Amino acid sequence: MVSVLPSHAPGLAPGPAPLRSRERLAAPAPEPLTARLVRPPVDLEVIIPAFNERRRLPSTLGATTAYLAAQSWSSAVVVVDNNSVDGTLEALERFADSPVAVHVIGCCDQGKGAAVRRGILTSAARYIGFADADNATPITTLGPVMELLEEGHGAVIASRETEGARRAVEQTALRRAGGWMFRALAHLTLPDIADSQCGFKFFSGPLAREIAGHCHVDGFAFDVELLARVLRAGDDVVEVPVVWTDVPGSTFSAGRDGLRSMADLLRISMAR
Ligand SMILES: Nc1nc2c(ncn2[C@@H]2O[C@H](COP(=O)(O)OP(=O)(O)O)[C@@H](O)[C@H]2O)c(=O)[nH]1
Ligand SMILES: [Mg+2]
């Protein structure tokens, strides 16, 4: 015969009282796993997307951390690597005890756009943006950029095409021709932006996080999609003139990346 003990059988210590449904609801929800990827908040995070940048990134990171360490606002650098195979990460070891935090994260989707998006979506910074590993735009450009962000502009971008800008070292004729075509296509979406392609763009953190979640372009045309969404959100984009230097060692392939970027630009212009 099977006997069933009453829950308060005499002689037995009572077990823990069962939770009433109200108490069950009040129990703290576990933190979502994705939230654990978010870094501590700072005033500014500088994302550097990196793909096989062993040669160019260490000196850029040195200049960037030295500049940031001298500022009154708090900051961090976030290198987003896409499975570099040239020893990029090993070359960054000396920044392990940098006075400005250097985070290194990965991204499973290949492409500069995917990497930057990953950096933005894992940031809690007040302002966030990206710079290229080649230091083509001097990091001191952050001075005027931060002033404009503090004034409340949604996006502040470096420009090689506004008054006062200069190219200290010009690109090859092929890249110039490709750049001209790219600009013509980008103008379909961003008619009032003179240079949508300079790799140095900074945003209000909350705005960047809001729009990056809706972006899809993984390759080099991602900036156009990002800026189009800033404008669509009712925010503004300010261009800051820069002295820009073409640095050898570009990861951009005119055939592979050029054609894909043009196709992305057409898609972005049609999605408006
Ligand atoms: N994470 C990541 N970064 C990339 C990828 N492709 C390019 N980059 C980075 O994007 C930045 C701009 O690339 P760069 O080679 O300077 O292109 P260019 O300035 O247009 O000639 C550099 O920091 C590159 O390392 C990629 O697939 N993944
Ligand atoms: Mg470059």
Our mutation pick for probing the ligand 1 site, out of 112, 116, 224, counting the most ligand atoms within 8 A of Cβ, is 112
Atom of ligand 1 nearest to the CA of 48: 23
Q: Rounded to an integer, what distance in angstroms lies between the CA atom of residue 98 and that of residue 12?
A: 61
φ, ψ of residue 214 to 5 degrees: the values are -105, 5
- Give the CA angle between residues 37, 42, 45 to the nearest 5°: 75
d(CA 214, CA 105): 21
Q: Could you tell me if the CB of 80 is within 6 A of ligand 1? A: yes
Average pLDDT of 176-181?
87
- Report the alpha-carbon distance of residue 44 to residue 110 in Å, rounded: 25
Residue 257 beta carbon below 6 angstroms from any ligand 1 atom = no
* Averaged confidence pLDDT in the chain: 90
250: Cβ below 6 Å to ligand 1?
Answer: yes
Tokens standing for 63?
A: 């200049």
Tell me the per-residue pLDDT of 97-144, one tens digit each, with 9 for 90 and over: 999 999 999 999 999 999 999 999 999 999 999 999 999 999 999 999
Look at residue 9 and tell me whether its pLDDT is greater than 80. no
Q: Could you tell me the two tokens for 116?
A: 């930057």
Q: Look-up: residue for tokens 């987003």? A: 80
- pTM for this structure? 0.88
pLDDT at 23: 53
Q: What is the pLDDT of residues 204-256, one digit of tens each?
A: 999 999 999 999 999 999 999 999 999 999 999 999 999 999 899 998 888 88
Give me the pLDDT at residue 54, please: 97
- Region of poorest pLDDT, from 3-12, 23-32, 110-119: 3-12
Give the per-residue pLDDT at 153.
98
Q: Where are the domains positioned within the chain?
A: 39-270
Fold classified for 39-270? Spore Coat Polysaccharide Biosynthesis Protein SpsA; Chain A (3.90.550)
Structure tokens at 154: 């949604």
Q: Worst-scoring range by mean pLDDT, 5-19, 100-114, 183-197?
A: 5-19
Q: Is residue 45's pLDDT more than 90?
A: yes
Question: What sections of the chain are H helices per DSSP?
Answer: 21-26, 57-69, 112-121, 142-150, 173-189, 205-212, 222-232, 259-270
Per residue in 248-269, pLDDT (tens digit) is: 999 888 888 888 999 999 999 9
- What pLDDT is stored for residue 44 in this prediction? 98
Distances (CA, A) of 63 to 48, 66, 87, 136, 188: 13, 5, 20, 12, 36
Q: Is 119 in the pocket of ligand 1 (CB under 6 A)?
A: no
